[in-house]
Amino acid sequence: MAGPAEGAAVPAREARGAAPVTPVPTGTPAVIDLVAAARTYPGPPPVHALRPTDLTVRRAEYIAVVGPSGSGKSTLLNVIGLVDRPTGGHYRLDGIDTGALPEADRTALRGHRIGLVFQAFHLLPYRTATENVMLAQVYLGTPRARRRTDAVDALLAVGLGHRLDALPSAMSGGERQRVAIARALVNRPSLLLCDEPTGNLDSASAGRVMNTLDALNDTGITLVVITHDPAVAARARRTITIRDGQLTEDSGQLRVGSPA
């Protein structure tokens, strides 16, 4: 996995001399394809947490999802992440129609193609950074030696080559979140989904996490990042706003389905 040098904090996009952000061509294969996808929680009264939505996200796109608390951001992420099924419409991931799949196949697809990062890092306290990342591969049946080298590669990619054997308690919040990102990356997913990844971090740590996400996106990883932080949203190539379960996009790339 390509990544920044061991030990170095990941520098900002400009400092790395990365090319300015350019739009992803429309011919690029779609990773996410939602067609009138909706999720309603049963009532009474029913909550239309995600109204029928069409959304295409192509490989190497970087999408920020913003919106007030309770607007449906996590619901959208859970549908995209195969955590929850839409109650209406269709969801294709890498061209695979997920609606037709039994639960075991959805779980396998999630394990192989999706990395999830949350506000709370969810690291095991008595395991080192490397061990925490290795655990993400156990259920995929990867041999142990391969798991260790993959985990080290993922930690190098997030700039934590100098913290391989550190316990979470000895790491800063930003470092812990970068371990969580490495854990999400280790199975080489097509898609990295982050729900408020900088919500628990001071601004300096948040900056390093954002630089890490930029660097990963530059290597071709597709990112969907929920955030309240305008500084995080400013890094994305596209920003989608969600309000009362309804998505809008300033650039007009998003076609929104008719309300339920």
Ligand X SMILES: Nc1ncnc2c1ncn2[C@@H]1O[C@H](COP(=O)(O)OP(=O)(O)O)[C@@H](O)[C@H]1O
Residues near Mg ion (CB under 5 A): 73-74
70, interface contact from Mg ion, ligand X, none, CB < 5-8 Å by kind: ligand X
Between 23 and 70, name the residue whose CB sits nearer to Mg ion: 70
41, interface contact from Mg ion, ligand X, none, CB < 5-8 Å by kind: ligand X
**SS3 of 115, please?**
strand
Residues contributing to the site for ligand X (CB under 6 A)? 41, 47, 49, 67, 69-75
Task: Tell me the closest approach of the beta carbon of residue 112 to ligand X, in angstroms.
Answer: 25
Give the C-alpha separation, 119 to 197, whole Å: 5
Between 73 and 163, name the residue whose CB sits nearer to ligand X: 73
Query: How far apart, in Å, are the Cα atoms of 100 and each of 37, 86, 186?
Result: 14, 12, 27
Between 41 and 139, name the residue whose CB sits nearer to ligand X: 41
Give just the sign of the alpha carbon dihedral 243, 244, 247, 250: negative
Beta carbons within 8 Å of 144's beta carbon, 6+ residues apart? 134
Angle between helices 144-157 and 173-185 (to 10 degrees): 130
Task: Tell me the closest approach of the beta carbon of residue 114 to ligand X, in angstroms.
Answer: 18
Partnered with residue 240 across adjacent β-strands are 65, 249
Between 38 and 151, name the residue whose CB sits nearer to ligand X: 38
**SS3 of 168, please?**
helix
Peptide bond before 20: cis, by omega within 30 degrees of 0?
Answer: no
Task: Tell me the closest approach of the beta carbon of residue 74 to ligand X, in angstroms.
Answer: 3
DSSP 256: B
Task: Tell me the closest approach of the beta carbon of residue 100 to ligand X, in angstroms.
Answer: 24
Between 114 and 154, name the residue whose CB sits nearer to ligand X: 114
Task: Tell me the closest approach of the beta carbon of residue 73 to Mg ion, in angstroms.
Answer: 5
22, interface contact from ligand X, Mg ion, none, CB < 5-8 Å by kind: none
